[in-house]
Amino acid sequence: MAYGKKSSQRILITLVAAYVILCAATCAWQRKLLYFPTKIPANAVVQAGMDHGFVPWRNPAGQIIGWKIPANGIATGSVLVVHGNAGSAIDRDYLAQPIHAAAVVDVFVLEYPGYGAREGSPSRKSLVAAAEEAFRLLPANAPRYVVGESIGTGVACELARNYPPAVAGLVLFAPYQNLAGVAQRQMWFLPAYFLLLDRFDPGACLKSYHGPVKFVVAGEDEIIGPASGLRLAGGYPGPKELQLFDRAHHNDVPGQPAGWWRNTFLFWQQHPPLP
């Protein structure tokens, strides 16, 4: 009996130790699990951008911080795209091209630190800092809109919180209430809610914003789940539109046609942010 009890205790201690090690490893490597950048050699990145219809977007120091499609004429505004956690900004022509076709606007796609050929490493702090630099570089004499995709919806909402009413409108594709809740849903067997370092919190950010927001939710979102985005939309008291694509998966919703974007511009323009 005593031997069996000791054996059970040893098994329990081993299991607990293994679980603690798993938690520690997840905590240490979580940014590798969260961000999936595509790297592009610096000597090839300009040509890669041109192949997707972009020209380089540089900051005053001459560094490429993203990509641009200039307006066909005198721009009536600008749209900043902050993308999801995989690939790079160059991949987002499926977002940028229809926006550009829908209105006479300059379209900018931010390249995150550690993505493409941009130096640095991704984190909430570095993504938000890069987005703030990019937003401040947009022409301030015309409306500035922000489009967020997946994890980028957290970045977009940070801009809305930090620059109201300069952000003239938002579109959030596959959004979430807070990233910690998404992490817990994905890693239900770990205390992921408490381990997460990069705590994007769109629900809290939007409390400081009163402009027009279009929420686009995938009904069969296998990564975020539709409930989180629906909660975010339901809790927003400002001007809003909610579009739920019942049978869409996570990556299905951002690729909308030019006509969809023309309606979005009308919605934005009908509800200018309060000063």
SS3 content of the chain, % helix, strand, coil (to 5): 45, 20, 40
Question: 204 by DSSP, 3-state: which?
Answer: helix
Q: Which CATH number applies to 37-270?
A: 3.40.50.1820
Q: Give the number of residues written for the chain.
A: 275
What are the extents of the domains in the chain? Answer: 1-34, 37-270
Report which residue type is found at 48.
Answer: A
pLDDT grade for 2, boundaries at 50, 70 and 90? low
Predicted pLDDT at 203? 96
pLDDT tier at 109, thresholds 50, 70, 90: very high
Which token pair is 214? Answer: 């279009």
- Mean per-residue pLDDT, 73-89: 96
CA-only gyration radius of the chain, Å? 21
Taking the C-alpha atoms of residue 271 and residue 273, their distance in angstroms, rounded to an integer, is: 6
